[in-house]
Structure 1
Amino acid sequence: MTDFPEITIGLLLFPNLTQLDLTGPYEVFISAPNAKVHLIWKTRDAVVSNGGMAIVPTETFDTCPPLDIICIPGGPGQIAIMDDEETLDFIRQQSQQARLVTSVCTGSLILGAAGLLQGYKATSHWASLDQLALLGAEPINQRVVRDRNRITGAGVTSGIDFALHVVAEIYGIETAKNIQLGMEYDPEPPFNTGSPRSAPAEQVKQARERLAPFIEKRRAATLKAAAKLTQ
């Protein structure tokens, strides 16, 4: 285990993020051999997720070392981040030398707003997947999508699958398998409704109607970010 070179992994924190987008991959990454995992925000003040969980950053934009892997989670707060040039500039800067540029859920829209998915295949939460095309990406309806050094995960719970893919890429499949076993990641969902592909059509319709006002708010932010990319 100690024969692996040190890998520096950074996960972006921001207000109103979905904590599982971050904590799922975090649990995988901290189990990787010789990995240094950082939680990053503008200050070291606690950041509160959309569900009220407070998470304390370990690094700021100014103190963060060069990252081998940068990971951007999603969540409702993603809308504000897409118009936050300080944060987008940090992501762009770190992505220049990063070995892998990654995201979970609507974190891919943040990568897109930073101009980092133009010409790349990517995924996101099913309700916002189509918005990637507005940012120059090719939306792919898969749980984990790899295109060159971009790896993106779909909605929320896919963060664990995504992170195991990343570990397999960096450390090899056996290391990823060992982490999966150690976490006892052996999902047996009680219902077959975790995706629009499997859920009943009426249930998907109701979910889309319920989410519609927020998705339109997100779409407006995506269109604004897309306009900036063409300036």
Structure 2
Amino acid sequence: MEATFVLYPNMTALDFVGPYEVIGSVPVVSTRFVAATLDPVKSDNGLSVVPTDTFASLKSTDIVVVPGSSHWRELLRDSGGVVEWLREVHPTTKWTTSVCTGSTLLAEAGLVSKATTHWAAREDLSVRGVEVSDDRVVFDGKVVSGAGVSAGIDMALRLVEAEFGEMVAQAVQAGIEYDPQPPRAYDSIPPEVIDGLKAAFESRQVRPD
């Protein structure tokens, strides 16, 4: 089985690295990285990743993983070919997945009816006609979405369980020693912290003309 991770400028590194470690731990899975060109792609925090394939060369795959970005509204204005490629490849996939604001790209491509995303981007899903969930992982047919950033690990484990069974998922979880113990849920974080984060996220967005 082949899993393909979508790369584009200003993607969030953990959005694809987390699922990559989970899905890539399954021995029967081979991995690819697809982008507009074969040039290295830099994440929003500066990590560079070299693609193995381009949107023009890769026309089918079993699993697609679409990471999000802290610059998601800019990306929605010009995805650099990501949205078009997703529309093209989706009919060939067994699973089409997203992490964080990557679900807004699936929504822009018209591929999802119910999804989750980072809490700061829920409105961007809603205005695209998607039923927005605050669950950490959402299955919508063969489309699977994970909430913000670290939820990509949870999404990938749920995907491995759905595809390969509970024992395989448990083995992968034990292998990466994933035992999440977050200090608090989003809803219990002080409002002033959330307001500061929202301001930081907004400062990265490109406003419509």
- For normalisation by structure 1, the TM-score amounts to 0.83
- CA distance in 2 between counterparts of 1:201 and 1:85 reads 35
Match of 2:109 in 1: 114
- Matched residue count: 208
Alpha-carbon distance, 1:185 to partner:
0.5
Within 5 Å, give how 1:25-174 maps onto structure 2. Answer: 25-64=19-58, 66-82=60-76, 83-84=78-79, 86-117=81-112, 120-174=113-167
Identity, in percent, stands at 37
Relative to structure 1, the CA distance from residue 79 to residue 200 in structure 2 (aligned partners, 3 Å threshold; closer, same or farther) is closer
C-alpha offsets along residues 174-222 of structure 1, whole Å, 9 cap, x if unaligned? 1011000000001234x32xx431212332233334434446x47x49x
CA contact (8 A) 1:81 1:88 kept: no
- The DSSP-based 3-state class of the residue aligned with 2:188 is coil
Q: Secondary structure at the match of 1:88?
A: helix
**How far apart are residue 80 of structure 1 and its match?**
4.1
Structure-2-length-normalised TM-score: 0.91
For residues 81 and 209 of structure 1, what CA distance do their matches in structure 2 show? 19
For CA contacts below 8 A with separation 6 or more, give which structure has more relative contact order. Answer: 2
Contact kept? 2:59, 2:88, Cα under 8 Å: no
User: In structure 1, how many angstroms separate the alpha carbons of the residues matched to 2:38 and 2:204?
Assistant: 29
Distance (Å, rounded) in 2 between the aligned partners of 1:78 and 1:37: 25
> What secondary structure sits across from 2:45 in the alignment?
coil
User: SS at 1:9's partner residue?
Assistant: strand
Bigger Cα Rg = 1
Structure 2 residues not aligned, in runs of 5+: none
Could you say what secondary structure the match of 2:161 adopts? helix
Secondary structure of the residue that 2:187 maps to in structure 1? coil
Inter-partner Cα distance in structure 2 for 1:63 and 1:29: 23
Q: Structure 2 CA distance, aligned partners of 1:208 and 1:77?
A: 13
Consecutive unaligned residues in structure 1, runs of 5 or more: 1-6, 222-231
Q: CA deviation at 1:85?
A: 6.4
